[in-house]
Amino acid sequence: MKIRELERMTVPERRRFLKLMGLALSAPFVPSALRAAAHAVVGQAEAAELPPETYFIEIDLRDQWDHGHLFVAPGLATEQNLRRGEHGRKAALFYQPGELKQMANDIYLTPESLALEPHLDTIAMIETCELSIGAIHGHEAANALRSPGRSYDARPNALAMFRNDPTANFPQGCEAFYSTVPTPASLHNFAFKADGVHNGIAFKGVSRSIHTVYHFGAGLPGAELDRYQSKASLMRAFGNSVSTTGIIPTTNEAEAFARVLEKIDRRFLQKRGLRGQAIDGHGANIQEAHKILSRVTSKTVSLPLTDEETAFWSAGVPDQAADPSTVKAQIWEQVAWAYKLVSSGVARTIALEFDYVDVHDERTPPQMQTMTLQVALTLSRLIQKLKEAGIYDRTVIAIYTADGGRSPAAGSSGNEGKNSILLAGGMIRGGYFGDVRVAGDDGDGHVYSFHPPDPVTGVAGPGYTNNSGRLAGARVWKTVAKAMRVPDAVANQFDDVVGVPHLPFLLR
């Protein structure tokens, strides 16, 4: 389909117009059917010039977080002779097979994680990734999944990761790591920051003063995040209204934008596979989108939560397991702020930090239930709200266990057995990928085998009873970059990930 409005423009004018059109189509509340059809009508060659803006929310969990009750490993969920308990080599899984709910793609839910059920087609878990290496039983502010190749070696091209995130007791649990690869939120900030959008945000929400999470730009210009060390500092920056102008700034461009949208007739939509309400409401969608996108507006973003918002986000979520005097913000509170910032269009990149407080030698049912509810309820509500705002299909949520997670053995530490990533978003294929199984008996419990997924198919592969054979952090990092739609030319420029393929089974 020829579009005369585009043909009449000079190359620079067309590039500017296509960029504006891309910004408009990425705005919150623009109907997804209209967005897809407009991309198609422009044509693949010219649509390639449209910036594929996405939103990214990174949640970094510290102190050996255990997702064992969130998505139960299939091998443990179906093991009939599992020795369960709070200590030693017994499995810290406190539900029998009959008490779990089996879902598609090897997902097994506990009663605490059932809130995620409506969204499972877009939530993926891998629990068998490259391990943490922190000298204190895996404690690590960096993590191989967030910055592949990070090491203690200040080798050529590697920069210090720890300069911008100091702690009260460096380097205990926050060691002197060096890397060539930016952490995910910093990478996204570099790729998708734009005029009129706030620089990426990191809320430093860990309660223990000796711990932090490294956010690292790897020398990319403008990639470093703005750090906020407290709720008060975040409220000072964003608590009041934030004014923005219309996305389509001139009358002529607004009229051209409307004419392009009008080219999308009923027959064209049918050819593109759209049916029913997506077609019937197209005219109304055009009128509404034109009003929203072409006028100059002032947006008000109020971060303080109302009583109604507090009730929605906090219901059933346990408080942080820490000295109340050290708590910076509850996990549901941080996620609510992130939602407000991205859904309003004020920011595209948000990194959050949260911790459980270090647990040694045991894992009890209340501990497992607390960690599960804090993630499951908060994540399910975030996904719900992003869907309502119409931006979930362009949002990536990545939840990392920075200190490496745990083995199923209740008395284990973070540098044994597991290192997890939980991904969610419209471009993610849901499922549990990999497996953890019982390989034999060990004292009062078991020897556990860890089965990373095949890097192409996602099917659980051979198992390892030692710390070898885990899924490489570089492949996980490349997959997150691909999900965020970071251009390959950007993602491939770093020494420790250049040429490494992503994991195709994780992406739609």
Half-sphere CA count of 505, side-chain side, radius 13 A? 17
- Cα 167 from Cα 213, distance rounded (Å): 10
Give the amino acid at 414: G
Which residue spans within 216-286 are E strands per DSSP?
226-228
- pLDDT tens by residue, 95-139: 999 999 999 999 999 999 999 999 999 999 999 999 999 888 888
Mean pLDDT to the nearest integer, 258-262: 65
List, for residues 338-355, the tens digit of each pLDDT value.
999 999 889 999 999 999
Task: List where CATH 3.40.720 sits in the chain.
Answer: 55-242+299-456+473-506
pLDDT score recorded for residue 4: 62
Q: Does residue 188 sit in helix, strand or coil? A: helix
Amino acid at 204: K
How sure is the predictor about 208, in pLDDT bands with cuts at 50, 70 and 90?
very high
| CA neighbours closer than 13 Å in the CB half-sphere of residue 400 | 33
Integer Cα distance of 139 and 64 in angstroms: 7
Q: What is the pLDDT of residue 44?
A: 41
Arithmetic mean of pLDDT, 423-432? 97
Report the chain's mean pLDDT, rounded to a whole number.
86
Q: What is the DSSP letter of 478?
A: H
Residue 266: its pLDDT value, please?
54
Burial class, 492, CB count within 10 angstroms (exposed 0-12 / middle 13-18 / buried 19+): middle
- Per-residue pLDDT for 51 more than 50? no
Q: What was the pLDDT predicted at 467?
A: 86
pLDDT, greater one: 51 or 365: 365
Output the six-digit token pair for 153.
């070696």
Q: 298-311: per-residue pLDDT in tens?
A: 556 889 999 999 99
Residue 7, pLDDT above cutoff 90 = no
CA-based angle 302:425:463, to the nearest 5?
Answer: 135
Q: Check whether 276 has a pLDDT greater than 60.
A: no
Nearest to 258 by CA among 285, 278, 281: 285
Helix, strand, coil shares of the chain as percentages rounded to 5? 35, 15, 50
pLDDT in tens, 366-382: 999 999 999 999 999 99
Q: What is the pLDDT of residues 18-50, one digit of tens each?
A: 666 665 565 555 665 556 555 655 554 344 444
Q: Using a CB cutoff of 8 Å and minimum separation of 24, what contacts does 165-171 make? A: 165/141, 165/204, 165/212, 165/213, 165/214, 165/215, 165/227, 166/212, 167/141, 167/209, 167/210, 167/211, 167/212, 168/209, 168/210, 169/209, 169/210
Indicate whether 478 pLDDT > 70.
Answer: yes
Cα separation values, 223 from 100, 144, 200, 218, 260, Å: 43, 19, 8, 8, 34
| Residue carrying the six token digits 């195709």 | 504
pLDDT at 48: 43
Structure confidence at residue 50 (pLDDT): 44
How far apart are alpha carbons 161 and 495 in whole angstroms?
A: 15
The most confident of the ranges 44-58, 252-266, 405-419 is 405-419
High-pLDDT (> 90) share of the chain, %: 68
Using CA atoms, how far apart are residues 280 and 198, in angstroms rounded to an integer?
Answer: 36
The partner residues of 61 in beta bridges, in order of sequence, read 354, 401
Cβ-Cβ contacts under 8 Å for 162 (sequence gap 6 or more): 141, 170, 171, 174, 175, 176, 177, 214
Say what the pLDDT of residue 126 is.
97
Task: Output the pLDDT for position 64.
Answer: 84
Cβ–Cβ < 8 Å for 374, 317: yes
- What pLDDT is attached to residue 250? 58
Whether the pLDDT of residue 461 is over 60: the answer is yes
- 55-242+299-456+473-506 is a CATH 3.40.720 domain: yes
Tens of pLDDT, residue by residue over 280-331, are 555 565 566 556 555 544 556 889 999 999 999 999 999 999 999 999 999 9
Lowest mean pLDDT among 15-24, 79-88, 171-180, 197-206: 15-24
- Residue 356 backbone class (left: φ over 0; alpha: ψ -120 to 50; beta: rest): alpha
pLDDT at position 16? 60
The answer, yes or no, to whether residue 279 has pLDDT greater than 80, is no
Report the 10 Å Cβ neighbour count for 373: 20
pTM for the complete prediction?
A: 0.83
